[in-house]
Every structure is written in structure tokens, then in C-alpha cells.
A and B are shown apart, each in its own frame.
Chain A
Amino acid sequence: MATKRPSSGPQFKDKIDAGIEKAFSPQEQLEGLEKKLQEKIEKTNKLKKKISEQIKKAFTPGKTEDLAITREEKNKIFNTLNNSPEGESLLKYFGINSVKDLMRRIGLSRIEEQRNYEHYNYSAEKGPGICFRDYDKIVDEPWGKTVLEKALKNGPEFAFAFADRLTQNPEVAKDLLIRAAGKAPQVAFRHAEKLNNIQGANDVLIEALKTADKTDVAFTSFSRYKDIDDSTKVLEHAVDKNYTDAFLHLSQYKGETEASQVLLKAIRKAENISNFFETTDTDFKEIPDIIQVLGVAVLKDAKAVILHLDKYDDIKGAASILQFAAYTEPEYVLTILDKWQNLEGAQSVLLTAATTISGENAPYTLVALVNDNNDRQIIKDNAFPILMIAINQKPDIIFGDKGTITKEYHSMLAKTAVFAKPELAFEHKDKIIKLENAEEIIAIAAKKNPLLLYENLNDLKSSLDENAIQNISRVAFNNLKPGDYISVDKVKIISPHLTGEQKEEILSKIKQCQEFAEEFLEQNLNTARSGRYATKNMPGMIRDLFADESLQNILQVNPKWIKLPNVSNIVSWVPTPSEARAMVARNLFTAGLPVTKENVTAELNKIISERNKLTDNYIFKDRNVLHVAQPEKIIGKNNFGREGTLDAINKQSKNTDKMRMESGADLKEIKKFKEKMIKKIADTPPPLTYVFSGHGSKKNGLELVKSNDVSSFFTPADMARALRLRHEKYGQNPTEQANPPIIIISSCYTANYTRSLYQKLQDTPRPIAMGGAEFGQEAYGLDSHEEFDSVFDKQVLGLGTDKPATFGTVMQNEKANLSNTYLYTPAGQVI
């Protein structure tokens, strides 16, 4: 009988043990089992330790570059178990379903964590690249940032070598790279293509540029980082540091959309742009917007660009470049234009240059250009328009001795001359009569200045036939404006030439003008018949009122069309009916719009809406004030910029900068003061309020100091220049855009000044402007014992009260004693 061999292993031993155990009492059995369990637990722990040692042995820190058990290796362990029937049942028994469960069960997670820290901490010292390579794995570990800091210190260049792996935690990644850039700027650019997915990569490279000693790398490696956000900003920074590199390395980025933007910046920065053309051997056609680039270059140095223009004569738009040049170097362009005469647009270039030539002698230069260059085809072909430009600049030139104009053009040119200066039609009557279109020319004068025609009508009767005289008289009559007949003297000139019907019509218009003027002066100058105004007679005041060109269409504005909102509360200030009528008339005249019911209603609504918009806006509070006062003393005290006015403004404003010239300043000092003032208007941070207190002149503007020289005035052109400079500096500034400059002038004729300023500003945004004297009116100061400069300051601006001045304050007080306030906004007159 074969003996059954006992099977080996714990099962068999346990069976024996169990048999033996049964021989013992339950208590003894229990003790035995407890002992046994303890032994097995110890065995389990030993095994766990063994596993741990095995792992540590196999992957000792620092021994290899790849210490951690990889995910694949973990999977392998799990799969080995899972693939054997015994292993599978064990996993099932313990409810282990994943690699993660298994690792936790055998205590590997903790071991691994500790091991990872040791490994990366060691690497940060000995091989920092490893830390950046495994950045994503370690950045979010509790010790991750400390280790990365250490790696950054020991090997900043590796941050760039592995920059494409820095995808986790973008903020930490960007911060590390920015600091690495400061330490290894050149490496940053060499590995720039790896920054493509880094948020704010351009900041990293800009930081690199700050420390880099050479900037060429920014251009030469552009193709590596051109796909990062706002990549051209990096180039622009490089240009800031060294614009020459932008020229030298143009070929590296010429095809990029923003290349022109970079180039523009370099050209603007360049002291000498001729080296741009000399050092650049690039095909310009590949640069987008090259015309714009060359256009800016032309503004800087037209000659340098034109000198090299034939290099690029096949580029579309060479004419545009010449056109730009015609603005900056007109004389030069006129001398070289023959070479380009077949270019489309050459004629326009020629005429731009001719128009741009300035100075006293410009018209004579143009006449000479035509007379002396009969052999130059382009000049010959354009002789007439060139002469037209000359005539527009100096109409008299056609009738003068200086500069002979070819007779064939006289008829046409005389029309232009008389249109620009109607009095020429009568001053040079003898010459004009001989021209074939004499009647037409004189009719032009009659339309432009009907009163002048009536003055000269008797003289003309001997030279023109009756029919022509009648035609011309009719033109004159139809174009009469209130200013032409509002005074007795003027009516005396006109009336002898009028028919009975015409006389009645004029009388009716005079009556309407008077009615308007009386109502206007009554409603808007409540002291019209008292105080200082009493010295002026009513007809004189009416005459002054209608001297305003922009009021000439007042009678066409039907008073019935003026419908003002009801004032239901104290803050809704609305203009008086006559004031509204005048404002509408003026605004339509300025805008060149016809007087129709629709236009009147629209303009009125615009005025009311502008007033509502402005009501609560501060004039001084939260603003930077520049206060300029004329140095004039009365009984030893300053007449302008008095203490009360300055203190009140100072109290309300964010900052008040005061300027006053010394009395008796010489021309050099005046010039210096004026330039300083222009600079301050241009540079004072927004929002700006500019105040001038001093005398005003109808002709020249603001008197900075008493002097015999005209340069002592701050003219509208000077102010326009200052505001243009300001716009260049702050035009894009949101504070400036939301709070345009305010200009306050409490001088005589200040509305005249503002209107002229607005014209001179052209494309520059208009400031808000206000003052205490309407068109053609004088402003009044207060007696010398008063602490404020004027009624305008004290009452209209409310500086005599504690409340900060708003536009609502001005609307409320605009008709205060002796004041005659106006307020213009970019939209037109609103007070």
C-alpha cells in the first residue's frame, strides 16, 4: 500500500497543528492561536520590509537618473499577480482592483514619496535638469517648489531646455522662467521654441532682454518664438534697447504680419534713418504695410527715403511715399519730381508739395516755378493748378508787378483771387473789366461781400451795361446778412440802390434783428441797461452782436422751432429761448448745416443732452490745474490771479500749478515763458484744467505780459500747438479720453479766442472751453479791494462758495451780474 505523502506547505503543517490543538483545552488553544497570529503578523511585517528594501536596493537615490518606479513597472507588478490564478484570487480576496490599491496595500506609496523627495532634492544639487524635466511630476508635491527653487539656483538654463515640459501650474512655471531669464538670457532665446505653450512667454523673453548684453538674438531667433502670444512685443523691446539690430536683422522677420510695427518703432527711434537703407538689403515687398513704414521714415528724413526710393520703384504706392515727402520737404520734392512724373499720382504729389510750401514768398516761388520751368513736362502740364495755389495764398499776386502770370490764365485766376479777397474786384476794377468774364467775377465779389458791392456800385455803372449791373445787384441783395444792414451807416450805403420792394424787405429784417437782439440782451445780459453797460447804447450793442459771423443765419431760425423742456427741478438748467436760438444758429453755421426745422430740433436736443451730461462734472476737483496770470498790479496788489481765486482753486483741485511772468520781461524771457507754458499744457497729467486770467485781445489772444511786441500774446495757434503735443502724449490715455482738458479764460473776447482755437486744432480733439465774454464782448474784473479776479470767478464758477465748481454751477450762474458766459464742448456751444 503506497503511503500517502504529506503535502508540504503551511496548509499541511496547520492541519497537524490543528489536530494537536484540539488535544488542548479551549483556553490553551486560544493562547496558542494568539501566539501564532502574532508570529504571522511579524512575518508579514518582515516581508513588507523586505519589499521596501528590495525597492530601495534596486533604485538607490542618486544612483541613476531615473529612481522612481515607473507607472509601467507598477503595472507590471500588478499584472504579474493578476495573471496567475493564485495571485488573482489573492487580489480578489483583499478587494484589490487597481495598481493604486496594491501599492497602498504593500506600503509602497509612502516609500515612493520619501524616495522621490530624496531623489529630486539630490538632483537639484547635482543635476538640476532632472527637476525641470520632471517638473510636472513634482511641482504640486509639498516639497516641489523648494526643490525647484534649488534647481533654479544651480542650473537656470535647464528651465529653458525643458520649458516644453512645464505644463502643470502655469503661474509657477512662468515665475520660474522669468527668474531663469534674468540669469540665462541667451539660453532663453536659444530654446525659445519650447516656450510656445507657456502663458506669458513674451514676458519671459522681455525679461531676458532686460539682462541680455546683446539684443541681436531677439531678432535672429524670432522664428523660434513667433508663435507665442504677442511675440512682436519682444522685438519691440529689443528695438527699445538697440534699434540698429532691427535694421540689421530685418530678413529674420520681414515676412511677419507685425514686422512693419517693429520696423516703425525702430525708425521712430533711429537718430539717422539713412543707415536703415544702407544696412538693409532686404526685399521690401515682403514687409507687410511697407508703405506705412516708409511713410513714417519720410516724415523723419524725406531725402534719405527718396534717395533710395528707386531701389523699390516697383513697389505699389511709391506715390504715397512721395506724397508724404511732399508734406515735409516740399521744395525738395519739387526739384526731383521729373524722375517720377509718369508715376500714377505724380500730379497729386506735385500739387501737395506746391500747397505745402509756406512762408511769405511761397506764392512768388510758385509763380517762378511755372515761369522758369517751361521745359519741365510735369510743371508745364500743371501750370494752372500751381498758379491757383499761389493765388489762393496771396490773391493780389495776379494783379501785382512781382511775378508775371501768363495772360491765358488771367480770367480763371481772377475768379479765384476775387473769391478769396472780394475787395480786389473793385481795387483792380480797370484790369477786371477788360477780362471776358468780368461780370461773373464781380458777381462773385457781390456774393461774398454784398455791402462792398453797394459801396462800389456807382463806379461800376460807367464800365458795365445796365443788364449786368442789375444782375450783380440782385446777387448782392440776395446775399445780404444782418451784419450788412444792422446799422444806420450801412443802411445808408445800401438803400439808394434798392427797389421799393427790397427796401421793405430789408426794413422787416432789421425789425426782426432788433427784436431778437433786445430779447437776447434782456434774457442773457440782465444788466444790459445798467452798470457799465449803460455806457453803451443799445444800437451799439446790437451792432456788436451781429458782428458775429456765426449769427448771420439767426433770422432763418424760426423762434417757434425752439421748444425747450420744462424746468421741473432746480438742477435741470436750460438755456433761455433766445440763447438757445442763438446757440442753434451758431452751431449750425459752424457745422456748415442748412437751417431747417429738422436740423434746428436735432441741434437743440444735442445742446440739452450735452448740458445734462456735463451738469455734475467737476471743473477743478480731482483735476490738475495750471493757472496762468498776467502780472498787472493795481494799488500794489495783483489784479489777476488774486488770492481768493487762487486759494479756492487750490482747495478744490488735486494739484494747482501757478505761473506768472515778471513784469517788464524781455522778448527772450517771454519766449522762454511761453515755451514753458506750452510744455506744461502738454505734460500735466490728466485730467487738466487750464486757467488764464489776464487781458485778452481780439486780434492776438491772451496777453501774457504788457509789451509792445506781438509775441507777448499767447495766440490760438500757440494753444493749438500745446494741445496737439498733449494729444500726442495722452491721446490714448483713458483718463484723458474720459476727461478732456478744460480751458477757462476770463479775459475779453475769449469766445473769439476759443472759436479760432477750434479752427486751428483741425484733427486734434477739441477741449471744453469756457469764459466770461461772448463773441466780440469784453469781460469785466472786480474792484481792486475784492479778493476774486472777476464776477466770472466769484459767481459763475462759484469760487466764492465752499461748494466745488461743476458745470451745473456754471449753468446756474451763467447770467450773474455783468458776466456774459459761454461754454463750448467738442459738440458745439452749450452755454
Chain B
Amino acid sequence: METKKLQEKIKELEGKIETQDKEILLLRAVLKAVRKVSEDRSVKEDKERLKELEDQLSNL
């Protein structure tokens, strides 16, 4: 009886570990995508937007 309980508990923990593994995989993938996105937001684009804003402000 005691052994059976322990085995169930082991199974449960194994499931949790599997989920955690998947979550780690997911977060890795997200981190990769976030890095890509932040890179995509190029300095050039930033400059253009800044310029646009400056133009608007100077028109006030």
C-alpha cells in the first residue's frame, strides 16, 4: 500500500517535470522571438519616428 502511494506520487512528479520541461521549451522559444523583435526595431526606424515627432513639435 505504502509502495503504491509512493509510485503514484512519483508518476505525478514525472508529469509535473514534463510540463515544466515544455514550459522551459516555450520560454526559450519566446525569448528567441523577443530577441528577434527587438532587433527588428532598428535604429533607423527609431530615427525616422523621432524625426517625424520633431517635425510635429516644431509645427506647434
Contacts and interface: CB of A to CB of B under 8 A. Distances in A.
**Do chains A and B stick together as partners?**
yes
Interface of A: 10, 26-27, 29-30, 33-34, 36-37, 40-41, 43-44, 47-48, 50-51, 54-55, 57-59, 64-66, 69, 73, 76-77, 80-81, 84, 86-87, 90-91, 93-94, 102, 105-106, 127, 129-130, 157-158, 161, 187
Contacts of B21: 10, 40
Contacts of A66: 46, 49
Contacts of A127: 53
B1 interface: no
B60 A54 contact: no
A33 B17 contact: yes
Nearest to B52: A65
A54 B35 contact: yes
B37 A94 contact: no
Given A44-B24, A64-B46, A65-B53, A54 B31 contact: yes
Contact of A36 (B17, B26, B53, B59): B17
Contacts of A65: 49-50, 53
B33 A44 contact: no
Contact of A59 (B3, B6, B38): B38
A48 B34 CA distance: 12
Interface in B22-57: 22-38, 40-41, 46, 49-50, 53, 56-57
A263 B59 CA distance: 33
A40 B20 contact: yes
A54 B34 contact: yes
B41 to A, nearest CB: 7
B43 to A, nearest CB: 9
B31 A51 contact: yes
A157 B60 contact: yes
Contacts of B22: 90, 93-94
A154 B3 CA distance: 72
Contact of A43 (B24, B35, B40): B24
B36 A80 contact: yes
Nearest to A190: B60
Nearest to A63: B46
Given A33-B13, A84-B29, A90-B29, 5 more contacts: A26-B6, A51-B34, A57-B38, A77-B33, A105-B26
B29 to A, nearest CB: 5
The listed residue with most A CB atoms (<10 A of its CB), out of B14, B26, B31, is: B26
Given A26-B3, A129-B57, A161-B56, A86 B25 contact: yes
B26 A90 contact: yes
B13 A30 contact: yes
A51 B26 CA distance: 12
Contacts of A37: 13, 16-17, 20
12 contacts: A29-B6, A29-B10, A30-B6, A30-B9, A36-B17, A37-B13, A47-B24, A51-B30, A54-B38, A58-B34, A65-B50, A76-B40
A584 B6 CA distance: 112
The listed residue with most A CB atoms (<10 A of its CB), out of B10, B40, B59, is: B10
A102 B31 CA distance: 12
B6 to A, nearest CB: 4
The listed residue with most A CB atoms (<10 A of its CB), out of B14, B34, B36, is: B34
A36 B10 CA distance: 12
B38 A106 contact: no
B37 A73 contact: yes
A105 B53 CA distance: 34
B25 A90 contact: yes
A161 B60 CA distance: 7
B23 to A, nearest CB: 5
